[in-house]
Amino acid sequence: MRTSRRLITALRETDTAEVALACSIDDLTHDDWLDVYPSVSVSVTRVSPPYGELRSRPWHAIVLCCEEPARELARLIDHVGHVVPPVLVISPSAEMSQVGDAFRLGATSYLVVGDFTRSALSAAVGGTLHGHTHLSPRATTMLKQINCDRQPAEETPRHSLSPREREIMDLLATGFGALEIGGRLSLTEKTVRNNLSNIYAKLGVRGSTEAVLLWLGITPRRGQSVG
């Protein structure tokens, strides 16, 4: 596994977030893609392969748009140096190897092209800036498959949850919301939400995305103040 020291800087509402838009294929991006997060002003600089400009200054986050995230992320890390900001991958690839390797290399979030709305992109950009993990549904499915294909470890998040909470997490990881989970388990939506609050506390996570990521075998990345 490739490792690198992470830099996650706390952002205030008055800050301007410096985001590098690293693109190897232009048709994946539009000029207004990153001007979508209301509480943080975002300054976007487009960077092309081989990403040498990434050394020019520190970045709050990198949005990597490419066909082969595993290869491109490894190349990007080489040019950023030993301090790597949070990385949001946007790619048409939903292959298990690409999604899994991207996270093993240090990606923070992963969206599959055609698999997310503008509001989901807004949440992903804003969350990634603060070090939180965001996944589109197909990326979640691939991570779940990776977790199913490998041997379960002795210590997993499942051991801390009740049988009912495990059922809820399995459905949440499949992409169901609280109302749909309640319908499948004959529970009220309020009961499901109460269970989810308990689950998040037991897993030590801040919300559904981090819980799902941990459930699927990937440690969620969180924002930390630096300096």
Helix locations, 31-134, DSSP H: 69-80, 96-105, 118-129
180 touches 102 (CB < 8 A): no
CB atoms within 10 A of CB 219: 10
When the candidates are 3.40.50.1100, 3.40.50.2300, 3.40.47.10, 3.30.870.10, the CATH number that belongs to 5-144 is 3.40.50.2300
134 touches 128 (CB < 8 A): yes
CA distance to 30, 79, 118, 123, 131, per residue, from 36 (Å): 12, 27, 8, 9, 17
Taking the alpha carbons at both ends of the chain, their separation in whole angstroms is 27
For the chain, residues classed under CATH 1.10.10.10 are 151-214
Q: What is the pLDDT of residue 134?
A: 85
CA distance to 52, 145, 185, per residue, from 46 (Å): 12, 34, 47
Q: Which residues pair with 63 in a beta bridge?
A: 21, 88
- In whole angstroms, give the CA distance from residue 90 to residue 35: 16
pLDDT in tens, the chain (227 residues): 333 344 444 555 557 888 888 987 666 555 555 555 555 677 888 888 888 888 888 888 999 999 999 999 998 888 886 678 899 999 999 998 899 889 888 888 999 998 988 878 888 888 888 777 888 989 988 887 776 665 454 456 778 899 999 999 988 887 788 898 999 999 999 999 999 999 999 998 888 878 888 888 776 655 432 22
Confirm or reject CATH 1.10.10.10 for domain 151-214, answering yes or no.
Answer: yes
- In whole angstroms, give the CA distance from residue 144 to residue 122: 24
Q: What is the pLDDT of residue 99?
A: 92
Helix locations, the chain, DSSP H: 69-80, 96-105, 118-129, 137-149, 163-174, 178-185, 189-203, 208-215
For the chain, residues classed under CATH 3.40.50.2300 are 5-144
For residue 163, cis peptide bond before it (omega within 30 degrees of 0): no
Q: What is the pLDDT of residue 116?
A: 86
Give the CA diameter of the chain: 56
Q: What is the pLDDT of residue 17?
A: 84
- In whole angstroms, give the CA distance from residue 220 to residue 175: 17
